[in-house]
């Protein structure tokens, strides 16, 4: 067994010399921003497009009516902060666009208002500013980025809406509770977005630690509790296992398993020793800004990487697992990490001179 201790504070100076990922933006945040960009893009039916992000690399999957719409979807995403690359798997299926509903702007505004009231918490501050020829402009304030996204999604689903534009003010980040929401009881308005993020993040962590599923070749998207799996797996068994993990994830209502089976013609031989693989995992973890204050042990045995120690949040935990699984030679990851939030300073003591 190869075992390497990662004392982050001791190697801070060394890590500064290594390139960090794009601000270490959480994948859930990048996915949300991409979905929001698609919802507000001109002549793009975003409701037919699934989005997933792995390490800042965005995959678009679904259907478009024309090659032009497919290209517009990619253009809407390109250049967004945190997007390190785009894989466009959107298929062109002519005549698949939603049938336009003839309706007056006044009727559309009324329907959108009703949709917002249903999708968002009571007392929300988001409303319709105006509607012009089916183009809806939303304004107001949202306390979370998730609620902002929920408003755009709710308006986009209303018949007769051609495009949604946003003048909503909201935080430009996801709180940890938005990504790892674990509420109980009946679903309250506005909570479904939290639950979808929880489903996606939790399932992706399950896939990362499962040795039977090629997590980095698979994608996950969740909408209203419906999980869509897409990407490639080497066997029917891997596809079945991924679907089973999805079905057993909390709050999942159904699973659309669209994973494609692409057998590996030749399995690349990995001759690296465990200590070499452990060093790769250690180097990968050092590039993560979110892990700069973490204290992680890396142990590798028979290409299985075990991570133990402390991380400051669930998002940091996910980043650590993703980095380890992506290191060359790693077959699977065992997650023994504990979450220890940073201590909150209480300020100077009153008796201090």
Nearest to 153 by CA among 31, 70, 61: 31
- Could you read off the pLDDT tens digit of each residue along the chain, which spans 353 residues? 555 444 333 333 222 233 333 346 789 999 999 999 999 999 998 988 999 999 899 999 999 999 999 999 999 999 999 999 999 999 998 865 455 556 899 999 999 999 999 888 888 899 999 999 999 999 999 998 989 999 999 999 999 999 999 999 999 888 777 776 665 555 555 566 778 888 998 999 999 999 899 999 999 999 989 999 999 999 999 999 999 999 999 889 999 999 999 887 544 544 678 999 999 999 999 999 889 889 999 999 999 999 999 998 888 899 999 999 999 989 899 999 998 877 655 544 444 43
Domain 27-92 in the same topology as domain 2-22+271-339: no
Q: Is the domain 192-261 a CATH 3.30.1340 member?
A: yes
Lookup: tokens for 46: 């975003």
In this structure, the strands spanning 2-7 and 295-301 are antiparallel
Third-level CATH fold of 105-169: 3.30.1340
In 43-186, DSSP assigns E strands to: 49-54, 57-64, 85-92, 125-132, 135-141, 163-169
Is the separation of the CB atoms in 285 and 260 below 8 Å?
A: no
Please give the pLDDT value at position 74: 97
243: tokens are: 């679907």
Model pTM score: 0.80
**In a 10 Å sphere around its CB, with 0-12 CB exposed, 13-18 middle and 19+ buried, how is residue 259 labelled?**
buried
Report DSSP letters for 27-73, one per residue.
HHHHHHHHHHHHHTSTT--GGGEEEEEETTEEEEEEEESSHHHHHHH
Pick the CATH number of 27-92 from 3.40.390, 3.40.50, 3.30.1340, 3.80.10: 3.30.1340
Structure-token match 């990968």, residue found: 284
CATH assignment of 2-22+271-339, given 1.10.10, 1.10.1060, 3.30.70, 3.40.50?
A: 3.30.70
Supply φ then ψ for residue 250, to 5 degrees: -55, 135
Q: So where are the chain's domains?
A: 2-22+271-339, 27-92, 105-169, 192-261
Residue 77, burial from CB neighbour count under 10 angstroms (0-12, 13-18, 19+): buried
Q: Work out the burial of residue 54: count CB atoms within 10 Å of its CB; fewer than 13 is exposed, 13-18 middle, 19 or more buried.
A: buried
Cα(113)–Cα(116) distance, integer angstroms: 5
């Amino acid at each position: 067994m190869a075992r390497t201790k990662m004392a982050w504070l001791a190697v801070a100076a060394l890590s500064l010399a290594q390139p960090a990922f794009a601000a270490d933006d959480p994948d859930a945040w990048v996915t949300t921003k991409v979905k929001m960009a698609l919802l507000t893009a001109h002549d793009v039916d975003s409701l037919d497009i699934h989005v997933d992000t792995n390490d800042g690399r965005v995959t678009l999957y679904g259907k478009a009516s024309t090659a032009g719409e497919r290209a517009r979807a990619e253009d809407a995403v390109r250049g967004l902060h945190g997007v390190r690359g785009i894989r466009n798997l959107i298929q062109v299926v002519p005549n698949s666009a939603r049938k336009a509903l003839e309706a007056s702007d006044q009727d559309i505004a009324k329907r959108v208002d009703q949709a917002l009231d249903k999708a968002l918490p009571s007392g929300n501050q988001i409303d319709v500013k105006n509607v012009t020829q089916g183009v809806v402009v939303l304004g107001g304030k949202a306390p979370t980025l998730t609620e902002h996204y929920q408003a755009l999604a709710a308006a986009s689903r209303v018949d007769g809406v051609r495009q949604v534009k946003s003048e909503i003010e909201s935080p430009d980040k996801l709180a940890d509770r938005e990504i790892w929401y674990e509420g109980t009881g009946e679903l309250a308005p506005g909570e479904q977005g939290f639950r979808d993020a929880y489903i996606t993040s939790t399932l992706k962590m399950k896939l990362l630690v499962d040795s039977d599923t090629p997590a980095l070749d698979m994608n996950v998207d969740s909408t209203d509790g419906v999980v869509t799996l897409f990407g490639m797996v080497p066997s029917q068994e891997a596809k079945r296992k991924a679907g089973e993990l999805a079905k057993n994830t909390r709050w999942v209502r159904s699973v659309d398993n669209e994973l494609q089976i692409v057998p590996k013609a030749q399995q690349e031989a990995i001759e690296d020793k465990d200590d070499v693989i452990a060093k790769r995992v250690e180097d990968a973890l050092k590039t993560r800004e979110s892990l700069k204050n973490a204290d992680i042990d890396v142990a590798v045995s028979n290409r299985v990487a075990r991570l133990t120690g402390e991380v400051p949040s669930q998002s940091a935990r996910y980043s650590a697992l993703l980095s380890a699984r992506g290191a060359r030679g790693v077959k699977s990851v065992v997650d023994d990490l504990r979450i220890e939030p940073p201590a909150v300073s209480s300020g100077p003591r009153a008796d201090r001179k």
